[in-house]
Amino acid sequence: MAMARASSGLQYPERFYAAASYAGFDGSPRSTSKAVRAKFSSESALILYALYQQATVGPCNIPEPSAWNAVEKSKWSSWKKISDMASTEAMRLFVKILEEEDPGWYSRASNFVSEAVVDVQMNQYSSIQPVVENGNSFPETKTISTENGSVVEAQDKDVVSEGFGSVVVYDQWIEPPVSGHRPKSRYEHGAAVIQDKMYIYGGNHNGRYLNDLHVLDLRSWSWSKIDAKSVAESAEAPSPVTVTPCAGHSLIPWDNKLISIAGHTKNPTDSIQVKAFDLQTCSWSFLKTYGKPPASRGGQSVSLVGGSFVIFGGQDAKRSLLNDLHILDLETMTWDEIDAVGVPPSPRSDHTAAVHADRYLLIFGGGSHATCYNDLHVLDLQSMEWSRPTQQGEIPTPRAGHAGVTVGENWFIVGGGDNKSGASETVVLNMSTLVWSVVTTVEGRIPVASEGLSLAIGSYNGEDVLVSFGGYNGCYNNEVNVLKPSHKSTLQSKMMETPVPDSVSAVLNQSATRDVESETGQEGKIREIVMDNVDADPMKSRGKVTNEHLTATLKAEKEELESSLSKEKVQTLQLKEDLAELETRNTDLYKELQSVRGQLGSEQSRCFKLEVELAELRQKLQTMETLQKELELLQRQKAASEQAALTAKRQGSGGVWGWLAGTPANEKADDA
């Protein structure tokens, strides 16, 4: 039998008996009605009496007392009305009510309560073989240290022994005793749960992509490997092809099949591929899609909403970050790219997504090449509008590579990191109130503080459990860790925001931390295990106080919201006035700009005309220079002609005098 050592004060049922003894219900001399009424109010005393009887005796089978005895009649009625409650539940409710009525009871009771180191049985199976890894043999059952390296005390964490062979540890990660051949260590793999079996597919190990498929039986905690058959390309082309190893993909359960979408591969394709694994035939097949598929990518989020997959973000094969939004209709297998209004999240990968009320898609965290985020964005799937609401409570640190699952309206986030260290806290977001709270914190390098781990929601012994696997925190992991969320992490905010029925009000106080357990089935129905049959009069009185407190709280919140709204309205009005002033100034500047542009156009036109006139004048000047040269030539020719004429005239005058002297001109020529 696998055992774990727990030094944590008294466990149940010993803790219950110690509480009963302290309250005066153990049959000792202190156990008198007068002593009990001295410690508690009449209403609380009746509730504690009924719970003690139910836990120790069982259902009320004694005859109804006479109406003349009012005290015994009230005690009998209180006990009779919770006859359907389990004894273990009655024990826990008894201790919880005592802690609220008298918070210091345990320390005061320690004088007569001996604490011991006890063996806590961790599994219902009689023999668990140790796992041998890397040549070392070690047992698989261990409790993860959560506070200063020691196990959390039972008075802070609910531990209930329910007969032989089972124990439930709330809000604490434990490593169950698994058997069988474990998958290879990995991260960025896909995980999905179908019918109490968790399937692990693909991933990254030492830089190598994987394509193996393993299954963990959540009832026996045993591993086995599935030898998948060859993939058929399609019904029209049945020739087998090889399943490409991948990492950073999404694995979604749908219609008794495992749907693998996208992922990084060694030789990436142009667009996203969609594969389906049939659990009956143990074979893979590619699903043919229509429309324009998204570009291939890894690190995206894929959410199942009704009959469609909603894909957001991721990183493509060229390491470009994305923030696009696509929807795949599973009935028509048609892709549709969505252009949502509002401001979308910045491009990112390795984020988480969740769907609330089948209408709102929540995106948290993720990283880029330079930084990690802790912002929260919400997409209204009806109006297709993005918004960034205000987060409240203990907001998680920035992280990427984390994993998340939803239980009812609560979104659990585990692991991740900021490239420096892993995130050690497990947090939960109430998706109705957007209030964060820390469930638990782990110490040291353990798998749940890793990047690239997987997280799935399963069922063990009829209750929801979170199951994590793998991850990388300096080394690759292949360990399984389990956490069972308690009522504190799943119902506190739910109880605070919904009206409290009379049948429940007797076990609720003003902080709404009464022991109520919720189980969310596959159909989304929530069953509350509560005390619904306690004496009506005390319940109504306490319920009235609780409702009045809730009403006062809601009124205060309403007034605060109205004040904030008024401030926002004033600020919006001021911004509108500033905007109107800026628009007026912008109009004036625009008119002035138009005027300057008109003047500039006129000057440009005038300059152009001047350039034309200048060109004409230059042409005329060149013509005048040519005419001047021709004039000078004509003047020279004229002067030459006049000189020649003068010379000829002189010569003509000498010939006349010779003729008068009787010497003809020809004779003179001959003499010469």
Q: 463-469 and 454-460 as β-strands: parallel, antiparallel, unpaired? A: antiparallel
Name the percent of the chain lying above pLDDT 70.
Answer: 73
SS (H, E, C) 520-571: ECCCCCEEEECCCCCCHHHHHHHHHHHHHHHHHHHHHHHHHHHHHHHHHHHH
SS (H, E, C) 564-600: HHHHHHHHHHHHHHHHHHHHHHHHHHHHHHHHHHHHH
Per-residue pLDDT, 26: 62
- Average pLDDT rounded to a whole number, residues 497-520: 34
Q: Could you give the count of Cα atoms lying within 13 Å of 467 in the half-sphere of its Cβ?
A: 27
Name the percent of the chain lying above pLDDT 90.
Answer: 45
Q: In 295-420, at which residue ranges do the beta strands (DSSP E only) sit?
A: 297-298, 301-305, 308-316, 321-329, 334-338, 352-356, 360-364, 376-380, 385-387, 392-393, 403-407, 410-414
Name the band, by pLDDT with cuts 50, 70 and 90, for residue 235: very low
Domain coordinates in residue numbering, the chain: 13-107, 172-231+238-484, 579-622
Q: 190-193 and 197-205 as β-strands: parallel, antiparallel, unpaired? A: antiparallel
Q: Under a CB-based contact definition with an 8 Å cutoff, are residues 447 and 474 in contact?
A: no
- Average pLDDT rounded to a whole number, residues 642-652: 83
The pLDDT tens digits for 65-78 are 876 777 888 888 88
Q: Sign of torsion, CA 476 479 480 483?
A: negative
Residues 6+ apart with CB under 8 A from 285: 231, 232, 234, 275, 276, 278
pLDDT at 81 over 70: yes
Q: Under a CB-based contact definition with an 8 Å cutoff, are residues 218 and 193 in contact?
A: yes
We find that the CATH architecture of domain 172-231+238-484 is 6 Propeller (2.120)
How far is Cα 408 from Cα 431, in angstroms, rounded to an integer? Answer: 9
Per-residue pLDDT, 546: 53
Per-residue pLDDT, 112: 44
pLDDT at 267 over 80: yes
Beta bridge partners of 440: 426
DSSP code string of 609-660: HHHHHHHHHHHHHHHHHHHHHHHHHHHHHHHHHHHHHHHHHHHHHHHHHHHH
pLDDT at 512 over 50: no
In this structure, what DSSP letter does residue 423 have?
-
Least confident of 232-246, 315-329, 584-598, 637-651: 232-246
Per-residue pLDDT, 461: 78
Token couple for 377: 């964005």
Residues in the chain: 672
Best mean pLDDT range from 15-19, 135-139, 511-515, 522-526: 15-19
How far is Cα 277 from Cα 182, in angstroms, rounded to an integer? Answer: 21
pLDDT at 623 over 50: yes
Per-residue pLDDT, 324: 97
How far is Cα 197 from Cα 218, in angstroms, rounded to an integer? Answer: 6
Least confident of 188-202, 322-336, 573-587: 573-587
Of the candidates 371, 638, 361, 358, which has an alpha carbon nearest to the alpha carbon of residue 524? 358
- The overall average pLDDT reported for the chain is 78
pTM for the complete prediction? 0.54
The answer to whether domain 13-107 and domain 172-231+238-484 are alike in fold is no
The pLDDT tens digits for 526-558 are 233 233 333 434 444 444 545 676 777 788 888
The pLDDT tens digits for 86-96 are 888 888 888 88
pLDDT at 400 over 90: yes
Burial class (CB in 10 A: 0-12, 13-18, 19+), 569: exposed
Per-residue pLDDT, 284: 92
Of 16 and 12, which is predicted with more confidence? 16
Per-residue pLDDT, 534: 35
- Average pLDDT rounded to a whole number, residues 394-420: 94
Q: Please provide the distance, in angstroms rounded to a whole number, between the alpha carbons at the two ends of the chain.
A: 168
How far is Cα 313 from Cα 612, in angstroms, rounded to an integer? Answer: 63
- Average pLDDT rounded to a whole number, residues 4-19: 62
In this structure, what are the phi and psi dihedrals at residue 99, rounded to the nearest 5 degrees?
-65, -35
Name the band, by pLDDT with cuts 50, 70 and 90, for residue 20: confident
Per-residue pLDDT, 560: 83
Name the band, by pLDDT with cuts 50, 70 and 90, for residue 156: very low
pLDDT at 254 over 70: yes
Q: Under a CB-based contact definition with an 8 Å cutoff, are residues 154 and 199 in contact?
A: no
Of the candidates 24, 84, 22, 76, which has an alpha carbon nearest to the alpha carbon of residue 50? 76
Of the candidates 361, 388, 394, which has an alpha carbon nearest to the alpha carbon of residue 375? 388
The pLDDT tens digits for 334-354 are 999 999 999 999 999 999 999
Give residue 444's region: left, alpha or beta (phi > 0; psi -120 to 50). Answer: left
Burial class (CB in 10 A: 0-12, 13-18, 19+), 572: exposed
Per-residue pLDDT, 661: 62
Q: Under a CB-based contact definition with an 8 Å cutoff, are residues 500 and 546 in contact?
A: yes
Q: Could you give the count of Cα atoms lying within 13 Å of 428 in the half-sphere of its Cβ?
A: 24
Least confident of 45-54, 311-320, 528-537: 528-537
Q: Which amino acid is at 171?
A: D
pLDDT at 513 over 70: no
In this structure, what DSSP letter does residue 607 have?
H
Sole residue written with tokens 């988480």? 352
Name the band, by pLDDT with cuts 50, 70 and 90, for residue 271: very high
**Where does 385-456 have alpha helices with state H?**
none
Per-residue pLDDT, 453: 97
DSSP code string of 183-205: PPPBBS-EEEESSSEEEEEEEEE
Q: Does residue 89 sit in helix, strand or coil? A: helix
The pLDDT tens digits for 350-395 are 999 999 999 999 999 999 998 999 999 999 999 999 999 999 999 9
How far is Cα 178 from Cα 221, in angstroms, rounded to an integer? Answer: 5
Strand order in the sheet with 190-193: 190-193, 197-205, 208-217, 222-226
Of the candidates 334, 378, 374, 373, which has an alpha carbon nearest to the alpha carbon of residue 356? 378
The pLDDT tens digits for 430-474 are 999 999 999 999 987 889 999 999 999 998 877 899 999 999 998
Name the band, by pLDDT with cuts 50, 70 and 90, for residue 109: low
Token couple for 587: 């109009």
Token couple for 226: 């599935």
pLDDT at 11 over 80: no
Per-residue pLDDT, 31: 47
The angle subtended at Cα 611 by Cα 605 and Cα 616, nearest 5°, is 130
Per-residue pLDDT, 663: 56
Of the candidates 172, 173, 170, which has an alpha carbon nearest to the alpha carbon of residue 488? 170
Topology of the domain covering 13-107: Acyl-CoA Binding Protein (1.20.80)
Sole residue written with tokens 């109010």? 41
Best mean pLDDT range from 38-52, 121-135, 470-484: 470-484
Of the candidates 304, 301, 335, which has an alpha carbon nearest to the alpha carbon of residue 315? 301
How far is Cα 553 from Cα 563, in angstroms, rounded to an integer? Answer: 15
- Average pLDDT rounded to a whole number, residues 223-251: 77
Least confident of 227-231, 329-333, 365-369, 453-457: 227-231
Of 550 and 577, which is predicted with more confidence? 577
pLDDT at 227 over 60: yes
In this structure, what are the phi and psi dihedrals at residue 196, rounded to the nearest 5 degrees?
60, 25
| CA-to-CA separations, 309 to 270, 332, 407, 414, 532, in angstroms, rounded | 20, 12, 20, 23, 40
Name the band, by pLDDT with cuts 50, 70 and 90, for residue 243: confident
